[in-house]
Amino acid sequence: MIISPDTKRERRIPPGQSQTLKWPVLDASGTPPIDMGRWRLEVFGLVEREVSLDWEEFQKLPRVEVFSDFHCVTRWSRLDNSWSGVAVKTLLELAGGVKREAKFVSAMGYDYGWTTNLPLEEFLVEDVLVATHHDGEPLTPEHGGPARLVVPRLYAWKSAKWLGGLELLAEDRAGFWERNGYHMHGDPWKEERFGY
């Protein structure tokens, strides 16, 4: 089990946040329909070779478990989450590694091209994964099932639900919330809520 470093802080709730014991559902346009026969996870852009996995192939990859907290910019924090799925490192290895120019990632959801962006150095840490399970149960559709990105060290809007694509980029590219005023980086400990 990989333990997110932020869970080891003495004070685990970032500034301006309050703890919730529930798990709210939050997204821009609701749960999209996903046909598992057509589901794909694509790793593309500035990688050595582009990867497109179907559900069966994705299921065969080595798995990790991550214990982490989840901080939504709307001010709730859900502590003590156990996620399991595939480490992004494993996916980038399948793609033969990233090209030298790759500096950012855009994560795409099945909800009509919704994306979010983050720096490669925040993406390539050991507690970032494509999760299929939460607290031992398969992710429900409203929480991003069958598979979602989880980026524990940034605000929860960077944890793309219904993940379908990971694009490696040389330049940062604002996603849905970032174009609507949210921060390009989104560190909850620095309260990077809104744009620069």
Ligand X SMILES: Nc1nc2c(c(=O)[nH]1)N[C@H]1C(S)=C(S)[C@@H](COP(=O)(O)O)O[C@H]1N2
Q: Site residues (CB under 5 A) for Mo ion? A: 26, 72-73, 157
Alpha helices in the chain (DSSP H): 55-59, 88-94, 120-123, 176-179
CB neighbour class for 82 (10 Å; exposed up to 12, middle 13-18, buried from 19): middle
Q: Are 156 and 183 in contact (CB under 8 A)?
A: no
Nearest residue to 62 (alpha-carbon basis) of 85, 93, 78? 85
Q: Which is nearer to ligand X, 49 or 176 (CB)?
A: 176
Contact residue for ligand X among 39, 104, 114, 123 (CB under 6 A): 114
Q: Which does 130 bind (CB under 5 to 8 A by kind): ligand X, Mo ion, none?
A: none
Q: Does 161 bind ligand X (CB under 6 A)?
A: yes
Q: Are 193 and 180 in contact (CB under 8 A)?
A: no
- Given the rule CB under 6 A, which of 34-42, 84-92, 107-115, 187-195 is the region that contacts ligand X? 107-115
In whole angstroms, the minimum distance from the beta carbon of 29 to ligand X comes to 7
In the bound state, the residue with its beta carbon closest to ligand X is 109
Quick check: bond before 5 cis, omega within 30? no
In whole angstroms, the minimum distance from the beta carbon of 99 to ligand X comes to 26
Contact residue for ligand X among 28, 57, 99, 112 (CB under 6 A): 28
Nearest residue to 26 (alpha-carbon basis) of 113, 119, 111, 138? 111
Positions touching ligand X (CB under 6 A) are 23-28, 72, 109, 111, 114, 143-144, 156-157, 159-162
